[in-house]
């Protein structure tokens, strides 16, 4: 157990809808990152939040957005869902940025877009 | 841009035997970390081992060890005395140091099967 919890575990949405995924970071961790893992591929970095601010972003369109709350939990929001958004979404937490601190991953949220 | 390549989509090993998973990467940076992550069917990404680029000594964690060749940009994982629980997807990953955010770049993965 890494202490990183995600919800929901699985969900199905219709193309064009919006979805919110949630993540509780490990105790004491102030940094949360989100990754998208399509079937049969490695995870891809979406963005990172540090102390409630987005401080880094991967190659994902603006319809992928997020929030980090004062307790360092986080949300990933995806608007105007497309079929290609079907994937496992992984949340990861760590303490600080730019250092060698270990990143801990949650078990992910499976999103299916139909 | 940094990239990570794993040329073996699938590997298999007999229980108790040794297997080596290959990984190459491309970067122009000098300060970085390399990782091997294990992803079992539960889908949770588990850190197996990590290597700091500035360290010449290869990292070892129990039955897991790496062969880090910085000049060749090669980072292989050796699993000794393979166990049934080692069956999983293995991802090689890279993370640059000293940036304003921590972005881990993953390879495409190698699916490891362990034969009883």
- Measured between beta carbons, which residues in chain A are less than 8 angstroms from residue B46? 105
Nearest to B101 among A40, A88, A97 (CB): A97
Chains A, B: CB contacts within 8 A come to: 73
- Measured between beta carbons, which residues in chain B are less than 8 angstroms from residue A31? 102
Residue length, chain A?
Answer: 114
What digits encode the pLDDT tens for the residues B48-106?
Answer: 999 999 998 999 999 999 999 999 999 999 999 999 999 999 999 999 887 888 899 99
Per-residue pLDDT of chain A (114 residues; tens, 9 = 90+): 678 999 999 999 999 999 999 999 988 888 999 999 999 999 999 999 998 999 999 999 999 999 999 999 999 999 999 999 999 999 999 887 776 788 899 999 999 999
pLDDT of residue B26: 96
What number of other Cβ atoms are within 10 A of residue A43's Cβ?
Answer: 27
Phi and psi dihedrals of A75, rounded to 5? Answer: -125, 145
What does DSSP say about strands B32-39 and B88-96: parallel, antiparallel, or unpaired? antiparallel
- Alpha carbons A56 and B51: distance in angstroms, whole number: 23
| Interface residues from chain A to B (CB-CB < 8 Å) | 2, 31, 33, 35, 40-45, 48, 50, 55-56, 58, 88, 90, 92, 94, 97-100, 102-108, 110
């Amino acid at each position: 157990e890494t202490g990183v919890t995600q919800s929901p575990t699985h969900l199905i949405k219709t193309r064009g809808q919006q979805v919110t995924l949630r993540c509780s970071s490990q105790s004491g961790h102030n940094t949360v990152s989100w990754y998208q893992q399509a079937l049969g591929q490695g995870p891809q970095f979406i963005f990172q939040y540090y102390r409630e601010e987005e401080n880094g972003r991967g190659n994902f369109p603006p319809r992928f957005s997020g929030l980090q709350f004062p307790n360092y939990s986080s949300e990933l929001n995806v608007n105007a869902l497309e079929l290609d958004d079907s994937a496992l979404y992984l949340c990861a937490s760590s303490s600080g940025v730019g250092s060698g601190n270990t990143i801990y991953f949650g078990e992910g949220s499976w999103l299916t877009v139909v | 841009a940094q990239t990570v390549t794993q040329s073996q989509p699938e590997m298999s090993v007999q229980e108790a035997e040794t297997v080596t998973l290959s990984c190459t990467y491309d970067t122009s940076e000098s300060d970085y970390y390399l990782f091997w992550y294990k992803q079992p069917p539960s889908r949770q990404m588990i850190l197996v081992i990590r290597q700091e680029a500035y360290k010449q000594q290869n990292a070892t964690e129990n039955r897991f060890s790496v062969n880090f060749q910085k000049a060749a940009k090669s980072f292989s994982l050796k699993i000794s005395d393979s166990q049934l629980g080692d069956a999983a997807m293995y991802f090689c990953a890279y993370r640059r140091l000293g940036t304003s955010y921590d972005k881990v770049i993953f390879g495409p993965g190698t699916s490891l099967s362990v034969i009883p």
